[in-house]
């Protein structure tokens, strides 16, 4: 039954024009925008590091798709994906958006909502509108404090997997700079700041 569900998810991804292939044990489906060797070549030619692989497994929640680039707690990784559902077609739509979607304009900010299907657009817009303006020095203090809080949680704080559940309160999304500022908010969408960048940071943009 699990293998059949995974096979259906793999086929649904292929139907949307994605590369999708089961491993030999048929307990994992690799999904990519292009076949891995073509994706690697194109990425090299572009000189970028766009996310190129996702993995689909059967878990307690049903079908779960997860990006190759799991975000460390407290780290900056706007492309981290973890989404679970019971419908292979829904999962294929999420995968297609992950690879082919584009950021959404939220106020002054372009946010990669297409890579975070669990985020509510209205809630994010309200959060961005109420974001607290702070300096880069203040942001560093907040970030370090949250990292220490996460570490103090004990065993779960040793996890270096992508942010979800409790961990989503300790992982941050950092927007591109707009007029010398960045919008920074938790993956849980419960806290947000507009950080004014210092001159050194601006010179590296």
Q: Containing domain of residue 76, as a range? A: 2-100
> pLDDT under 70 in the chain at which residues?
1-3, 36-51, 68-78, 154-167, 199-205
Looking at the structure, tell me whether residues 87 and 116 fall in a common domain.
no
**How many distinct structural domains can be found in the chain?**
2
Going by C-alpha positions, the residue among 116, 91, 113, 97 that lies closest to residue 33 is: 97
Q: Which two tokens stand for residue 15?
A: 């139907």
**What SS3 state is found at 32?**
strand
Backbone φ, ψ for residue 13 (5° rounding)? -65, -45
Looking at the structure, tell me whether residues 44 and 129 fall in a common domain.
no
Q: What is the pLDDT of residues 109-126, one digit of tens each?
A: 999 999 999 899 999 999
Looking at the structure, tell me whether residues 8 and 85 fall in a common domain.
yes
Looking at the structure, tell me whether residues 80 and 28 fall in a common domain.
yes
Q: What is the pLDDT of residue 94?
A: 96
Distance CA 47, CA 10 (A): 29
DSSP 8-state symbol, 51 = -
pTM of the model: 0.77
């Amino acid at each position: 039954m699990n293998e059949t569900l995974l096979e259906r998810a793999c086929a649904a991804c292929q139907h949307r024009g994605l590369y999708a292939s089961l491993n030999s044990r048929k307990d994992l489906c690799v999904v990519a925008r292009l076949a891995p060797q073509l994706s690697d070549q194109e990425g090299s030619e572009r000189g970028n590091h766009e996310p190129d692989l996702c993995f689909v497994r059967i878990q307690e929640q049903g079908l779960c798709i997860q990006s190759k680039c799991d975000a460390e707690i407290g780290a900056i990784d706007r492309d981290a994906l973890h989404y679970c559902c019971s419908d292979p077609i829904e999962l294929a739509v999420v995968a297609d958006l992950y690879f082919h979607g584009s950021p959404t304009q939220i106020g002054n900010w372009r946010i990669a909502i297409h890579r975070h299907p669990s985020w509510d657009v209205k809630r994010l817009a309200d959060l961005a509108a109420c974001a607290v303006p702070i300096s880069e020095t203040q942001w560093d203090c907040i970030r370090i404090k949250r990292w220490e809080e996460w570490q103090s949680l004990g065993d779960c704080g040793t996890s270096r997997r992508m942010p979800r559940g409790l961990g989503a309160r300790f992982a941050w999304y950092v927007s591109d700079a707009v007029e010398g500022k960045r919008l920074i908010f938790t993956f849980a969408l419960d806290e947000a700041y507009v950080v004014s960048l210092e001159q050194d940071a601006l010179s590296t943009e």
